[in-house]
């Protein structure tokens, strides 16, 4: 394919969904959630609420699929979470009229830090303890209530490994895992989620002041475009650079994120079976 042909193909690849496509996605995801719960023989679903758009959209669609009485939200603050995000998480639960609990994870996290104080100064390691603690609580409540744990990960995060292994991806399913971050925002607008929640800068809040885009080194719109055109799509690196008007280093960075996180998307490896 010529480069001019490749650029023409780029024009045909869009992350923006039409109203009809958004409604189709809405039905597709709610049917998926209902199917997961039915197949598990569960009574409902548990979801961690962060005040961010991913958990807000997932919870909204879960209520559409299962009814408010069958969705249980958990707000799990720690000393690195902002008051605004925790307030927004409760606001979402109240807007959706679902049962929710606020579970302070600080005592649990502090117990880990007390057990192994050498790791407390490691920002990433300490942040992952917080994320994994929330995962344990999600399953504790879900097991007690015969529910499934709904993940809140999107396609962009999954492809780049932007999640904690056995943490926020320790879930039974990811209802919005087929959507790039840009499409998450579009669907959130479509289903009527408040504008300030849709446009809030995303943060995993693993430590104070952390934001997704600062940690990844690029904004989600650029990331999504590289994923759609080059990783998922047909364009070469050169064609993607020309189409998006970004340096080659941006493409290389996204490719590196995808390749280095392969282990996060796979079952733990084991030696091949030896045949006698």
Return the active site residues. 54, 157
Q: How many CB atoms lie within 10 A of CB 31?
A: 11
- DSSP states of 105-173 as a string? -HHHHHHHHHH-GGGTT-HHHHHHHHHHHHHHHHHHHHHHHTEEEBP---HHHHHHT-S-TTTTT-SSB
SS3 241: helix
Closest CA to 183 of 2, 26, 11: 26
Half-sphere exposure of 41 (CA within 13 A, CB side): 0
Dist. CA 7–CA 3, nearest whole Å: 6
């Amino acid at each position: 394919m010529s480069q001019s042909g490749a650029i023409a193909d780029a024009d045909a690849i869009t992350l923006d969904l039409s109203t009809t496509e958004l409604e189709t996605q809405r039905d597709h995801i709610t049917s998926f959630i209902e199917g997961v719960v039915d197949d598990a023989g569960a009574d409902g679903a548990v979801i961690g609420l962060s005040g961010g758009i991913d958990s807000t959209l997932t919870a909204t669609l879960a209520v559409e699929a299962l009814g408010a009485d069958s969705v249980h939200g958990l707000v799990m603050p720690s000393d690195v979470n902002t008051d605004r995000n925790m307030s927004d998480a409760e606001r979402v639960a109240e807007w959706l009229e679902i049962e929710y609990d606020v579970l302070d994870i600080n005592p649990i996290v502090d117990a880990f830090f007390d057990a192994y104080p050498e790791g407390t100064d490691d920002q990433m390691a300490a942040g992952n303890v917080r994320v994994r603690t929330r995962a344990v609580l999600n399953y504790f409540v879900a097991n007690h209530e015969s529910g499934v744990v709904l993940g809140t990960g999107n396609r962009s995060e999954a492809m780049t490994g932007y999640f904690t292994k056995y943490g926020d991806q320790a879930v039974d399913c990811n209802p919005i895992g087929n959507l790039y971050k840009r499409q998450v925002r579009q669907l959130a607008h479509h289903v009527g989620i408040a504008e300030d929640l849709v446009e809030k800068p995303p943060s995993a809040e693993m430590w104070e002041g952390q934001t997704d885009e600062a940690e990844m080194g690029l904004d989600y719109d650029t990331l999504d475009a590289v994923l759609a055109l080059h990783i998922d799509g047909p364009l070469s690196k050169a064609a993607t650079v020309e189409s998006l008007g970004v340096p080659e280093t941006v493409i290389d960075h996204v490719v590196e994120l995808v390749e280095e996180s392969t282990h996060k998307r796979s079952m733990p490896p084991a030696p091949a079976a030896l045949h006698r």
